[in-house]
Amino acid sequence: MNGITSRRIKFAILELLHSDHRKNKFNLLGRPNLPGALERHLTTQFDTSQRAIADLAFEELKRDDLIRATYRDLINPGDWVVLTDAGSAALERQALDELDYALLQISPHLLEIREGAWAAVHSRNPDAMRQASHSARELIEQTLKEGTSDDEIRQDENFIPDKKSETRITRRHRLKFLMNKHKGEISESAIRVTERGHDFILALDSKFQAASHHRGESPSAQELADSLRSAEMLLRQILI
């Protein structure tokens, strides 16, 4: 299933429901030796772990109300699903949630980083730990970099150059500018919270990177997922 991530599976489910209106969960996901509509749509064949990822993607779509059970089937009332209005909107704008959409307004590249980070979390590749933690950090760094330009910051009437910085622009400048741009006027306390959150992500990344180069207990998939969720929470504070 090379290159096929949970995100791609979700959009495939939305596309199939958009074209066929109503689908059964297990007809979508398939079974061993009996490929489902998803596998045919993606021209691939799931193994057990990949089918589990597809199952989780399906349930996450239900949780987020992008698809919804019809409850009309007497035997399996929760297995038949339809596309919701929110699901149609997600498919149309190619954004699964508000963070997706906010990142997309800055650069499609940021969605690729987010998708790659989650793919690494679910990967069995030995190098996935380093990739996942680095991607969580990179998602924030690239959002700050691509979401603001030096010229925009310098032209802000409230810009005060930092003499200690070579460019006279600091991370705080970028955070404040980006938050103002996307959320309007923000408080000093909100800036401090985002700064601390950013420091936390950097510390986690350093911890995981160090662990990847030394023998001993490695971070679990749960720790990596928590790290990535923390990065996403921080970005929501900045952009939404």
Q: How confident is the model at residue 3 (pLDDT cuts 50, 70, 90)?
A: low
Q: 146 phi and psi, to 5 degrees?
A: -85, -20
| pLDDT tens readout for residues 144-167 | 999 999 999 999 888 999 999 989
Name the residue with tokens 């059970």. Answer: 69
Neighbours of 220 (CB within 10 A): 10
Q: Tens digit of pLDDT for each residue in 167-198?
A: 999 999 999 999 999 988 788 899 999 999 99
Confidence at 210, pLDDT banded by 50, 70, 90: confident
- Domain 6-95, classified CATH 1.10.10.10, yes or no: yes
Task: Return mean pLDDT, the chain.
Answer: 90
Number of H helices, E strands in the chain: 12, 3
Dihedral sign computed on CA atoms, order 99, 101, 105, 108: positive
pTM for the full predicted model = 0.85
Average pLDDT over residues 97-103: 96
Q: Is 212 helix (H, G, I), strand (E, B) or coil?
A: helix
pLDDT at residue 204 is higher than 90? no
pLDDT attached to residue 216: 55
The whole-number average pLDDT for the span 14-38 is 94
pLDDT class for 213, splitting at 50, 70, 90?
Answer: low
Is pLDDT above 80 for 215?
A: no
Q: What is the pLDDT of residue 175?
A: 92
Decide: 7 and 118 in contact? Cβ < 8 Å: yes
Q: Is 35 exposed, middle or buried (0-12, 13-18, 19+ CB in 10 A)?
A: middle
**Cα dist from 163 to 174, 175, 191, whole Å:** 16, 18, 20
Average pLDDT of span 28-56: 93
pLDDT above 70 coverage of the chain, percent: 95
**Mean pLDDT, to the nearest integer, of 5-15?**
95
Over 80: is that where the pLDDT of 128 sits? Answer: no
pLDDT number for residue 1: 45
